[in-house]
Amino acid sequence: MNNLMNACTDLLHEIKGKNPLIHNITNYVTVNDCANAVLAIGASPIMADDAAEVEEIVSISSALVINIGTLNQHTIDSMIMAGKKANELNIPVVFDPVGAGASTLRNQTTQEILRQVKIDVIRGNLSEISFIAGFKSSTKGVDTSMVDEKNDAVGIAKLVCHRYSCVVGITGKVDIISDGIKVAKIANGHKLLSKVTGTGCMTSALVGSFCGVTKDYYTATAAGIAAMGIAGEIAFEKVGVMGTGSFHISVIDALSNMNSTLLLEREKIDETKY
């Protein structure tokens, strides 16, 4: 059993014991799912996005998750204010650049957040992270395009890690997590996860939950991504044949029943150093 797998299970135990408050500035399509995912894993969500209160909310939180899924100027300003406050207080910031590469507004917002806020973890799909790396991206809405699937995910992850001094998590058929030196590949998950809106956003919220109990953001990112993948596997085993609606709810059920033993038994993590 590798050390990273054991460290992931230790963090899950920490979340359930400490119940960290996780501040999510996310999108109106998935806000409820993100809140429920955070609750299910053992943390406590707060979904404040008004500029009049984000700095106060960040100040009492253990982590901040910024998600640009549904953008408007109101939330863009709030995200940057909250991110700066989190930096001031040394509170971890997770950034989910949903749809980066798809529109001028998303591209400019992504670049502005990365310019003004020190990000600790970037979690996205290969098209989104390819855009951040400076590659020509063919983002298909909020999904990875087939054109971008040929990109070198490990190389792109490491490039972004070094450019922004952060951890990068690229989710896909095989998930890639890197801190610029270590690289973990996670083979958990099920293809039905891509047929339910919000599973990527939920994954970022889970990563934020794990970041809320440690300064080891590499392990936290691996743990959050692995937990979501395992939940998808369990959900499909239980109700997959019933359709995506039942699968959606069963993912939350699986997260709520996640424990250190289950995580350790089902994790499919391969770690290397470059």
8 Å CB contact between 214 and 196: no
Selection from 95, 69, 96, 66 nearest residue 82 by Cα? 66
171 is in an annotated binding site: yes
User: Is 13 buried (19+), middle (13-18) or exposed (0-12) by CB count in 10 A?
Assistant: middle
As a whole number of angstroms, the distance between CA 62 and CA 58 comes to 8
What backbone phi and psi angles, to 5 degrees, belong to 119? -95, 135
Q: Mention every residue, 6+ apart, whose C-beta is less than 8 A from residue 231.
A: 251, 254, 255, 258
8 Å CB contact between 78 and 50: yes
198 is in an annotated binding site: yes
123 is in an annotated binding site: yes
Rounded to 10 deg, the angle between the 73-88 and 104-116 helix axes is: 20
As a whole number of angstroms, the distance between CA 27 and CA 22 comes to 15
Write out the binding residues for substrate.
Answer: 47, 198
Write out the binding residues.
Answer: 47, 123, 171, 198
Write out the binding residues for ATP.
Answer: 123, 171
